[in-house]
Amino acid sequence: MSIETTVTQAWQRQAAWLWLLLPISWLYGLITMLRRQAYKMGLLSSYRAPLPVMVIGNISVGGSGKTPLIITLVNHLQEQGVNVGVISRGYGGDTSQMPALVTTKSLPNVVGDEPCLIVNVTGVAMAVCPNREQAITTLLATYPELQLIIADDGLQHYALQRDIEWIVVDAARGFGNEQLLPTGFLREPMSRLKGADVIYHESLETVATYHKDHNYQPQSRLTMHLKADGMQRLWPSTSINRQAKREGLETGSKVHAVSGIGYPQRFFDTLSALGYDVIGHPYPDHYDFSLTELLQYSDHPIVVTTKDAVKIKALIFKHTDRQSLTAEYQMLIDRLWVLPVMAVLSDNCYSNLQQRLSHLGIETRAC
């Protein structure tokens, strides 16, 4: 088990030994505060893009449902006639080849897994680079007609000025012990949420419980939840297993749930809620799987997330392109499944967005 996985699990169960790291958290918090103030006071320079920028991020480490949210948001904006582009740090990619445009032919090991997923699903104009100014410049050089740029996971990147901020909070996961890294999993203190547009990622069960316990008006809270979109084969079945070609993955089946996302437990819980008998295998976020590694899960079907599927498909394509698929690998491919999910936003999320865009002079078809 990796150090990252160990610490993540310690955060989830709020292990007592984490409090030994509190002095480091205090130092981290001081540095974070001084850095943000330096940008506010102009002591550190920041970049103002020539068009509006919307930042979507979170104050916690680990998955919050941000990528499905961006996909839904991009699809919505495209339907509303807004020319939208996306930039990202391109985590997990090759920084020596950045800034780079992301296309449907881009590889995860070059531009990152999440950018590949976003572009494959939406076809949006996208560029990646740790330097967001360079990413925007690269994007506008090819797509000068863009009206809005969405910055994926740039909340703490204060070198980039922004016009809209959406902070995604996993309501089911909460804030743990409410401490900064490394004692807790917060990148910034909870005070960062004050006055911000916060999108609470809730399960339907969480929504019902929160309504009952807190008696609040739903319209006062911006929310989203993830909806499973039906199990799919990750790759067309090979000819070696003709029975697998005919069969689907029935509810109630025992499955290996293999996940390299920020909060894998959510993926495992989703599969369980759909009726599958789940054997969970959590890996670090953005983990680079190998087909050889997946061979160990030979007794049951393997289900992965859409983000992990992007990388695994690239591996399979590399093997098939070299015509090096043995019978063992062909059987593995027949066991691979992916569970797509989509973000469902509350109506007031769209109302909030339209008001923000209108204020920036961006008209939508709903206006």
**Looking at the domain assignment, is residue 90 inside a domain?**
no
166-201: b (≥16 Cβ within 10 Å) or e = bbbbbbbbebbbebbbbbbbbbbbeebeeeebbbbb
Percentage with pLDDT > 90 across the chain? 77
Residue 54 CB partners (closer than 8 Å, separation 6+):
148, 149, 150, 151, 162, 163, 164, 165, 166, 356
Q: Are residues 303 and 350 in the same domain?
A: no
Q: Are residues 203 and 236 in the same domain?
A: no
Q: Are residues 348 and 311 in the same domain?
A: no
The three-class DSSP label of residue 170 is strand
Amino acid symbol at 362: I
| Distance, CA of 41 to chain centre | 31
Select from 156, 171, 173 the least CA-distant residue to 29.
156
**Looking at the domain assignment, is residue 279 inside a domain?**
yes
Percentage with pLDDT > 70 across the chain? 90
**Looking at the domain assignment, is residue 102 inside a domain?**
no
The yes-or-no verdict on residue 45 having pLDDT over 60 is: yes
Q: What is the pLDDT of residue 244?
A: 44
**Looking at the domain assignment, is residue 222 inside a domain?**
no
Q: 95-99, 159-163, 203-207, 324-328: lowest mean pLDDT where? A: 203-207
The yes-or-no verdict on residue 269 having pLDDT over 80 is: yes
**Looking at the domain assignment, is residue 140 inside a domain?**
no
Instruction: Select the more confidently predicted residue: 82 or 244.
Output: 82
Count CB-CB contacts under 10 A for residue 69.
Answer: 23
Q: What is the pLDDT of residue 57?
A: 95
Residue 264 CB partners (closer than 8 Å, separation 6+):
63, 257, 280, 282, 283
141 by Cβ neighbours in 10 Å (0-12 / 13-18 / 19+) ranks as: exposed
Residue 70 CB partners (closer than 8 Å, separation 6+):
56, 86, 118, 150, 152
**Mean pLDDT for the stretch of residues 154-169:** 96
Select from 344, 319, 345 the least CA-distant residue to 333.
319
Provide the pLDDT confidence category of residue 30 given band limits of 50, 70 and 90.
very high
Q: What is the pLDDT of residue 326?
A: 82
Q: Are residues 354 and 242 in the same domain?
A: no
Look over the chain and give the mean of its residue pLDDT values, rounded to a whole number. 90
Provide the pLDDT confidence category of residue 203 given band limits of 50, 70 and 90.
confident
Q: Are residues 39 and 64 in the same domain?
A: yes
Q: What is the pLDDT of residue 344?
A: 96
90-109: b (≥16 Cβ within 10 Å) or e = bbbbeeeebbbbbeeebbbb
Provide the pLDDT confidence category of residue 256 given band limits of 50, 70 and 90.
very high
The yes-or-no verdict on residue 209 having pLDDT over 70 is: no
Q: What is the pLDDT of residue 324?
A: 62
Query: How wide is the angle at C-alpha 118 spanned by C-alphas 306 and 349, nearest 5°?
Result: 100
Q: Return the top range by mean pLDDT from 23-37, 53-67, 327-341.
A: 23-37
Provide the pLDDT confidence category of residue 224 given band limits of 50, 70 and 90.
very high
The yes-or-no verdict on residue 364 having pLDDT over 80 is: yes
The domain tally of the chain equals: 2
Q: Which residue has the tokens 């204020």?
A: 359
Residue 360 is encoded by which pair of tokens?
């920036």
Query: How wide is the angle at C-alpha 66 spanned by C-alphas 65 and 71, nearest 5°?
Result: 105
**Mean pLDDT for the stretch of residues 167-191:** 94
Q: Are residues 328 and 349 in the same domain?
A: no
Q: Are residues 315 and 175 in the same domain?
A: no
**Looking at the domain assignment, is residue 366 inside a domain?**
no
Give the whole-angstrom CA distance, residue 135 versus residue 122: 19
Q: What is the pLDDT of residue 89?
A: 97
Select from 62, 37, 44, 109 the least CA-distant residue to 284.
62
Q: Are residues 242 and 310 in the same domain?
A: yes
Provide the pLDDT confidence category of residue 173 given band limits of 50, 70 and 90.
confident
pLDDT tens digits, residue range 273-320? 999 999 999 999 999 999 999 999 999 999 999 999 999 999 998 877
Q: Are residues 189 and 332 in the same domain?
A: no
Helices (H), the chain: 3-13, 22-40, 66-79, 108-111, 113-122, 132-142, 204-214, 242-246, 264-273, 291-294, 306-321, 327-335, 347-359
Q: Are residues 14 and 40 in the same domain?
A: yes
User: Are 61 and 75 in contact, with CB atoms under 8 Å apart?
Assistant: no
Select from 74, 70, 116 the least CA-distant residue to 93.
116
Q: What is the pLDDT of residue 236?
A: 84
Q: Are residues 327 and 187 in the same domain?
A: no
pTM: 0.91
**Mean pLDDT for the stretch of residues 208-224:** 62
Per DSSP, which regions of 229-305 are E strands?
A: 232-233, 254-259, 277-282, 302-304
Q: Are residues 330 and 348 in the same domain?
A: no
**Mean pLDDT for the stretch of residues 54-66:** 92
**Looking at the domain assignment, is residue 135 inside a domain?**
no
Give the whole-angstrom CA distance, residue 99 versus residue 163: 23
Q: Which domain holds residue 282?
A: 230-339
User: Are 151 and 49 in contact, with CB atoms under 8 Å apart?
Assistant: no
pLDDT tens digits, residue range 298-311? 999 999 999 999 99
**Looking at the domain assignment, is residue 214 inside a domain?**
no
User: Are 339 and 228 in contact, with CB atoms under 8 Å apart?
Assistant: yes
Q: What is the pLDDT of residue 238?
A: 61
The yes-or-no verdict on residue 208 having pLDDT over 70 is: no
